[in-house]
Structure 1
Amino acid sequence: MQTLPKSVRRSFGTALFAAQMGVAPPIAKVLKGFGGAGVLELIEDDRSGTYRAVYTVRFTTAVYVLHVFQKKSKQGIATPHQDIELIRSRLKFAEELHRKADHEDS
């Protein structure tokens, strides 16, 4: 996130802090194709482009940021397939990491 424009970093940071506090950020939308409201997307426009951050709130003790990127395509609003696959992979890793952390706490 450090490479994002300052206004985008501020917006995403505020939204992610709200998510950590259990509050739904007003700029968050459910990312379709992930089985419910557990994977959300933040979208922010800047003069240099459109930026997205995808995170999950499926776990009660953590918010995992799965992917942050600049949308390159000028056509359509769909998230590119390669980004969706990366998000799926990182979500699976987050689930494993969280499951492992839960077992260590037990």
Structure 2
Amino acid sequence: MTKTSKPVAWVGSSYDDLCAFPDPVQDAMGFALYLAQTGGKHANAKPLKGFGGAGVLEIVDDHDGDTYRAVYTVKFADAVYVLHAFQKKSKTGVKTPPADIEKMKRRLKAAEEDYKTRGGA
């Protein structure tokens, strides 16, 4: 039995941002997104705090001393939406910067609207 794969929808500049990451980071995040498409969850994917549950997840990958993050949602039955991809700039603390949280919230709303217009529940 083969698993069906949900399409990935990219919100805002998330696709271009992820494509700017180093190749090994792109590979790791691409595999994590593939797992999400097929109903799985990568070991490095964890629920993002502040979004009410496990519907919004974050993938974190380190490369050459830098930290990269991609945030996606699996709260829709028929699609995986990538909300944001960015390099963590702060060298202190693990908190996601407030500007990035706000961007993700705006993009989650945009994803919800897009999903509704495509005929989702």
Give percent identity, aligned residues only: 53
Equivalences, count: 104
TM value normalised by structure 1 = 0.95
The 5-angstrom pairing of residues 1-106 of structure 1 reads 1-102=18-119
Q: Give 3-state SS (helix, strand or coil) of 1:35's partner.
A: coil
Structure 2 gaps, min length 5: 1-17
Report the TM-score, using the length of structure 2 for normalisation: 0.83
- Partners of 2:82 and 2:32 in 1: CA distance: 12
Structure 1 consecutive aligned stretches of length 4 or more whose deviation exceeds 3 Å: none
Report the CA distance between 1:25 and its aligned residue.
1.2
Letter aligned with residue 105 of structure 2 = R
User: How far apart are the structure 2 equivalents of 1:37 and 1:48?
Assistant: 28
Match of 2:14 in 1: none
Counterparts of 2:32 and 2:43 in 1: how far apart (Å)? 8
RMSD, aligned CA:
1.3
Where structure 1 has 5 or more consecutive residues not aligned to the other structure, the ranges are: none
Q: How far does the alpha carbon of each residue in 1:47-73 deviate from its partner, in whole angstroms, 9 at most, with x for none? A: 051000000000010000000000000
